[in-house]
Amino acid sequence: MDTNKNDNLIEVIGLKKYFPVKTGFMKSQNVKAVDDVNLYIKKGETLGLVGESGCGKTTLGRTILRLHEPTEGKIIYDGKDITKEDMYSYRRKMQIIFQDPYASLDPRMTVGDIIGEPLDIHKLYSNKQERQEKIYSLLETVGLNKEHANRFAHEFSGGQRQRIGIARALAVEPEFIVCDEPISALDVSIQAQVVNMLEDLQAERGFTYLFIAHDLSVVKHISDRIGVMYLGHLVELTSSSELYKNPMHPYTKTLLSAIPIADPKSSRSKKRIILKGDIPSPLNPPSGCTFRTRCPYATDECKNSAPTFKEYNEGHFVACHNVKKINR
């Protein structure tokens, strides 16, 4: 990818993550959860990542953080290859906000201890009073108050629990945060509050986000650039405005056609693209282009060879053999 590498905080080159799955007695097969992904994230920007459930979005985020060890490829952080590095020092710089605030917080720990644990691990205080003050400050940052520190996670609503998870991620003052569908388990009324808080924190502290989500309208709102994943592959990557104005991959066109419109008149005139068939099994993906079994533009070339992920317009990357034919 032709980009100024000095501006990049994260670079992913040929990243693969395969999980072995038993298919019978003494037999196993690989699920290609992430398969040959290339991308970069600039310092201070938000890269949105969208796609259907099971397409590999969360696995990609966790592999970049080395919560899953990559099968192949390189992860470069601020110019340094960290694919095989000891991650202790990088855990301070790279954090994650988990999808489920009900499962990601230890029910036996107080909120103060949940937020204080990363402070303990990285020894980020000199005495108990400083530790307590940092915990109170973090609670205040995410819109909670210091009285909440002595309570347990089950005493809070979903939105408050997610705020606690965000405070825990902020405790070590990271540079890069993977937001793994941080609002999908929350009520719609709470989602906007959490998204606005993430944007405010980014403006104040210069965070770099990988924002993984299903909701395309939320991703459009928060992201500078958006990547679209399908069955372990990145099929399109460009700026947020360009993706919505000029989607080039047939799968992206399908996703965008499914976004509901509030205006009934516009909604009736909008053409919805319906895909044929179901998502293929990741255990047995189609040959060539993995999207070809559902694509109305598929040709023999799509069956015989996988498309290259390449730049067609400035900053607009697509993996499709028939881009020019589709977008005449």
Using an 8 Å Cβ cutoff, are 163 and 149 in contact?
A: no
With CA atoms as reference, report the closest residue to 190 among 233, 161, 221, 211.
Answer: 161
What is the number of other CB atoms lying within 10 angstroms of the CB of residue 212? 27
With CA atoms as reference, report the closest residue to 257 among 270, 242, 266, 245.
Answer: 270
3-state secondary structure of 39: strand
Residue type (1 letter), 224: D
CATH no., domain 5-93+174-326: 3.40.50.300
- Bigger pLDDT: 53 vs 114: 114
User: In the predicted model, what is the mean pLDDT of the chain?
Assistant: 92
- Band (270; pLDDT cuts 50, 70, 90): low
pLDDT at 2 over 90: no
pLDDT digits over 38-72, tens only? 999 999 999 999 998 889 999 999 999 999 999 99
For residue 40, give the DSSP letter: E
pLDDT digits over 144-184, tens only? 999 999 999 999 999 999 999 999 999 999 999 999 999 98
**What whole-number distance in Å separates Cα of residue 238 and Cα of residue 47?**
10
| pLDDT in the model for residue 246 | 94
Give whole-number Cα distances, 214 to 31, 109, 185, 219, 230, in Å.
22, 31, 11, 8, 13
Radius of gyration, CA atoms only, the chain: 21
Residue type (1 letter), 51: G
Beta bridge partners of 309: 319
**What whole-number distance in Å separates Cα of residue 123 and Cα of residue 131?**
10
Which structure tokens are listed for 31?
A: 């699920």
pLDDT digits over 205-228, tens only? 999 999 999 888 889 999 999 999
- Bigger pLDDT: 20 vs 259: 20
Using an 8 Å Cβ cutoff, are 98 and 161 in contact?
A: no
Structural domain boundaries of the chain? 5-93+174-326
Q: What is the mean pLDDT of residues 223-250?
A: 95
pLDDT at 3 over 90: no
Q: What is the mean pLDDT of residues 293-302?
A: 92
| pLDDT in the model for residue 130 | 97
Using an 8 Å Cβ cutoff, are 113 and 101 in contact?
A: no
**How many helices (H) and strands (E) are present in the chain, helices listed first?**
12, 12
**What whole-number distance in Å separates Cα of residue 292 and Cα of residue 294?**
5
Helix (H) or strand (E) holding 255, with range, is helix 250-257
Report helix angle 158-170 to 188-205, nearest 10: 20
Q: What is the mean pLDDT of residues 274-292?
A: 87
3-state secondary structure of 181: coil
Helix (H) or strand (E) holding 112, with range, is helix 111-121
